[in-house]
Amino acid sequence: MNRRSFFETTAALLPAALLCKSAIAASPREVDITDAGAAAHLANRGVELIFRMEEPDLDDRGELSGSVLRIVNEGGDVLIHAGIGDVLQRAGYRTTHFLGWTDAHGLASIDPATTADGAFVRLVNTEEETYYGCASLTLMAGQSPELRLCISTHCFGVLRGELLTKFFHCLRVRGARA
């Protein structure tokens, strides 16, 4: 069996396997924050909250398009995981290139609507000698604040407006319950 057929077979069997376990089916492992019922999962520490970021350049939709931030509880910590290339594959599953993570505590204390200064957070990547080791989250303050996921000077995705407000609200809710 080659690699492609392995993934296609696995993707075809995965939903049936999940339906057999009622505990997993009853509580999702991850929730896209833009989904209608997402608010019900804010306090559930076992659910990852997914924020799909806006593309900074809609004309450049390449292999690494589709940046995503995840709010994750691991132990007593609230972490932010960042990835790029979050796209739906032909076989029906999603792939993401993991860029790194950071502790959410520093960002959760910032109010992007009232802060005069921005913020810069370097992401930690446990993979040594990787290109993705220089990824960062940069909060641009001002009239229209935005949070950018960048590697060096290249911006892969942006959170702004209502989605940025939800992101910081979720950080505070998860942080208070950690």
**Tens digits of residue pLDDT in 1-57:** 555 555 555 555 554 434 333 333 445 688 989 888 888 888 888 899 999 999 887
The answer to whether the CB of 47 falls within 8 A of the CB of 41 is yes
pLDDT of residue 13: 53
pLDDT of residue 75: 80
Regarding predicted confidence, which is higher, 12 or 142?
A: 142
Domain segments of the chain: what residues?
3-177
pLDDT of residue 166: 92
**Tens digits of residue pLDDT in 79-126:** 999 988 877 777 777 777 888 888 888 777 777 777 777 778 888 876
C-alpha atoms less than 13 angstroms from C-alpha of 159 in its C-beta half-sphere: 23
Class of domain 3-177: mainly beta
Supply the pTM of this predicted model.
0.74
Q: What is the mean pLDDT of residues 134-149?
A: 86
The band of 61, judged by pLDDT with boundaries at 50, 70 and 90, is: low
Regarding predicted confidence, which is higher, 55 or 132?
A: 55
